[in-house]
Amino acid sequence: MNDHSSQGFQGYPSLVVFDWAGTTVDYGCCAPLVAFTEIFRRHGITITKAQARAPMGLEKRAHIAAIGQMEEVDRQWKQKYGRSMHDGDIDDMFAGFAPLLLEVLGEHSTLIAGVIETVQWLRRSNIKIGATTGYFKEAADVVAQVAASQGFEADYTISATEVAAGRPAPWMIYRVMEALQVYPAQAVVNVGDTRADVEAGLNAGVWTVGVAETGNLCGLSPAEFKRLSVNEAETTVAAAERKLQQVGAHYVIRNMSQLSRVIGAITERLSKGEKP
């Protein structure tokens, strides 16, 4: 916890809250893509990768509902079932989605390059680490266990199903702050790769950092990214950076190796009494 007074907080970042898939594990945010595509296929509906990725970052039942409201998906659903998707359909699909996700999480929870080094730097800097996710608790527990086996363990983790509402609501961030006893909001940095991650950070009033290359907005596995030409890679990353900036991220980094520099910049701004 930072010292603060009525004259304004001029401390330093004391807590970084990371997203999981696309930010710290699962380069390209591929695990949920596989599960969403398959659960809709089992219901006779074909969705594109872009459609599956668009609501990424939301709690997963809400994610299914958001896909179902898309015009083309709704058209297919009406053609097959004679009506739009309703709550019962969403419940049924989520029940089928959960085991699909659990099946693929193990192979899609590899730590992203630069995460271990960044975590070590945060530890040396006495900055606490939290983790939040749109996954349900059982899935979040699997990811946390696999990440821990690779050397990354957060001080506190929480999933969207453990709060009143997932992103873009700020409740997961607040729960991490409470659990780790860090306040005010200016002392917190939220890091994620989706629009919902950025929106949650802004709604919480904390510093918000978007991650471009490794996340959902680029949406490429390591192998797919390596196959791009230099120009294609730069164009793809730049497009993801613009989208995160447009949502309102205070900073956008290409990958985790750049986070320490951003923490330094935030520290300097805090010393001048600036707020997120």
Specify the residue for token string 């304004």.
8
Please check whether residue 33 is in contact with residue 27, taking contact to mean a CB–CB distance below 8 angstroms.
no
- Candidates 178, 164, 177, 174; CA nearest to 200 is 174
Which one is catalytic: 26, 49, 60, 193? 60
Burial (CB count within 10 angstroms: exposed 0-12, middle 13-18, buried 19+), residue 80: exposed
Strand order in the sheet with 188-192: 156-159, 128-133, 15-19, 188-192, 207-211, 251-253
- Candidates 151, 154, 194; CA nearest to 175 is 154
- 137 a catalytic residue: no
- 87 a catalytic residue: no
- Candidates 266, 233, 249; CA nearest to 194 is 249
In eight-state DSSP terms, residue 106 is G
Catalytic residue set: 19, 60
